[in-house]
Amino acid sequence: MENIFQKWINRLLKNLFKKKQDIKLGLYGPPNAGKTTLANHISMDWIGEEMGSVSNVPHETREIQIKEQVTIKSGKRELTFNLVDTPGIATRIDYEDFLKAGMSKKESKKRAKEATKGVVDAIKWLDDMDAVVVVLDATKDPFSQVNITIIGNLQARDVPVLIVANKIDLKKSSLKRVSDAFPQYNVIGISAKEDINIDKFYEELFNLLE
C-alpha cells in the first residue's frame, strides 16, 4: 500500500511540472495484437513515417520504440504526445516456437532472448506512462491473464486507459466479447491494417489525453 501511495505522490509531482508535450502515450498488449500496426498508422498519418516492422511471427517488436512529438488534430483541437510502442507482454517464450516458424536455431534462440528482455523493458516502462492504449486482438479470448494483469496494473497506478479491439475486419472478431470483458472501460473496435474506425480512435485519444 505504501508503494502505491508513493507512486501516487510521484505521479502527482511529475504531472505538476510536466509540459503538455511531454505526455507519454504507451501502446501495450499481448504479442501479435497489432500494436506496431497501429503505431505505424498513427505515425504515418501525422508524421509521414513508420515506426517499426510488423510480422505474423510473434515478438517482432522486441525493443521499446518511441516517436517523439506526434501532433494529432481534429477541427480546432490539437494534441501532442510521445508515442511509445512496446513489445508484447507474455508469460511464456519458447525458442522452439520460432523454429516452427522457419527460423534457424541460432536465430530462434536470439529472438527468444531479445523477446524476454523486451517484456521486461515493457513492464519497466509502465511506471513512466501518462496514458495507455491497450491493444487487444478482437479474434482472441479477451480474458487471458496477461490482459487482466496489464489492465489491473494500470488501474492500480491510476493511469488512464483506452482499450482498442483490433482486427475487427476479421470474421472471427467480436467487439462485444471485448467490451463485455472490460465493462468499466471505453472499448473501441478498429482495424489498424484495414483503416477501419481510425478517425473515431483519434477522437477517443483526445478524450483520453485532454
Partner 1 sequence: MLTLHFVPYDEIRGLSSSSRIQKLLTHVKENKIVILDGKLRKEEEVELIRTTMEEIDDKFTGIELQVWDAQHKETGFFDSLKMRIASMLVPDIQGGFTIIGPAAIIKEIKKDPSKIQLITQGSSLTRVRKKTKRK
Write out the residues near partner 1 by the rule CB under 8 A. 1, 3-4, 89-95, 109, 112, 116-117, 119-120, 123-124, 126, 143, 145-146, 148-150, 152-153, 155-156
Judged by beta carbon, residue 123 or residue 209, the one nearer partner 1 is 123
> What is the nearest approach in angstroms of partner 1 to the Cβ of residue 38?
22
Determine how β-strand 65-74 pairs with β-strand 77-85.
Answer: antiparallel
Judged by beta carbon, residue 42 or residue 89, the one nearer partner 1 is 89
Q: Max Cα separation, the chain?
A: 54
> What is the nearest approach in angstroms of partner 1 to the Cβ of residue 180?
14
Instruction: Tell me which residue has cell 530462434.
Output: 108
* Among candidate residues 71, 73, 191, the one with its CA nearest the CA of residue 136: 191
The whole-angstrom separation of Cα 31 and Cα 56 is: 10
The three-class DSSP label of residue 173 is coil
Judged by beta carbon, residue 42 or residue 150, the one nearer partner 1 is 150
- Contact (CB, 8 A) for 187 and 208: no
> What is the nearest approach in angstroms of partner 1 to the Cβ of residue 86?
13
> What is the nearest approach in angstroms of partner 1 to the Cβ of residue 14?
18
